Amino acid sequence: MSGIRGDGRALVVGVLNVTPDSFSDGGRFASQERAVARGLELAAQGADIVDVGGESTRPGAEPVSEGEEQRRVLGVIEALAKRGVSVSVDTVHASTAEAAVEAGARFINDVSGGTYDPEMLRVAARASRNRGARFVIGHWRGIPAPDHRRSTYADVVAEVREALAARVREAVAAGVDPARIVLDPGLGFDKTGDQSWSLLARLDALTELGHPVLVGASRKRMIAEVLAELPRAAARAPESAAHERDLATAVTSALAARAGAWGVRVHDVAGTVQALAVARRFGESSLAGLATAPPEGRTRDRVTLTGLEVHAHHGVFDFERARGQRFLIDAEVAVDLTAAAAGDALERTVHYGELAEAIVAAAERDPVDLIETVAERVADVALGFAGVHSATITVHKPEAPIAAAFADVSVTVVRRAADAGGAGEGAR
């Protein structure tokens, strides 16, 4: 099981370009103050991760020095990380990736998959082993060519799959923790619109590689080409205004999530969060029968994860928000494991490693006052895993600011799949 499958849920990766020549943002967030404010805004809108980039990868973009790239991104990454935002660095440069992880980034997003800078795999290996950072391996055939001269494929799905599998093998051989690898098919990177849509239509071929898959279709030419086929009033001038592609991007992202994408990388976070919520609710309705009692004679099985440690900035008091504190989370999900056990099939059970990562991402998101809200948020995430009937979540706050001596304080919520989108919806 390579991602959160089949229910419309995926992590939302918000794009934050701190470049003067971005094709979609036009340098709006080139100053550190504006960039940090935008990153916090993206997180407040529901971004699970904010992806900070200091060098444009659009076709024809001018390259920048590593020093200039770091000047643009490091202060922004550090400021956002200190505010509890989960940050990714979008870079092909190993030195920038290493400095970004030191500044607080938890993801290295390399569109070249480590092929541009020969030091990148070694940096990613240290970051994954020592800091738990994830390495996003993108597919490309070099710096994007505007004329698509490298977009010739006999079978784009098979060739991208094999290229990504080869990059995974090289990354693991270099020491990258395989559990920290994410794959990105590189839509639009030396791929025509038709080829990019083919990759989305066969996303299962990539998720079968056993790693989470990140999809980044946001505002790309593949979207514009579809809109260009519509009447002008419906398309709303897609070629002249990249942001006019956001509605179509949100639909694409929701469909990708339903197809098994672990995450979607987008410029318009708010619209995408709404689209994913609708897709999730649609999926819950179609699978409502799964939330009923198990067949007579069959015991409801469980996957349990206890003592998951998270450092987050929740709390009523300002000092709790500022310095953060330790939380412990226990999660028990009810799921029928008969098929998984019979066929020794990972895809038929809940991948506890992915469950742990999804819980950590949810718990470390934007600060809230109550651990009740954190528990509701985590329950919502757990119920998003395919086949989960119910979730019992306990959030412990062992360092709570209580004057009297105490061992622990905790809140437990029990939620069923049929309840998802109710009380838990507001917590997101």
Active site residues: 220, 265
Residue 213 is classified by DSSP as B
Q: Map residue 392 onto helix, strand or coil.
A: strand
Q: What are phi and psi of 306, to 5 degrees?
A: -125, 150
Q: In this structure, which amino acid lies at residue 32?
A: Q
Give the orientation angle of helix 246-258 with respect to helix 193-201, to 10 degrees: 30
C-alpha span between 247 and 249 (Å, rounded): 5
Q: Which residues contact 180 (CB under 8 A, 6 or more apart)?
A: 128, 132, 133, 134, 135
Q: Map residue 74 onto helix, strand or coil.
A: helix
C-alpha span between 140 and 190 (Å, rounded): 6
Size of the chain, expressed as the number of residues it contains = 428
Residue 386 is classified by DSSP as T
C-alpha span between 106 and 81 (Å, rounded): 9
Measured CA distances, 328 to 69, 104, 312, 407, 428 (Å):
37, 21, 10, 13, 19
H-run or E-run covering 230: none
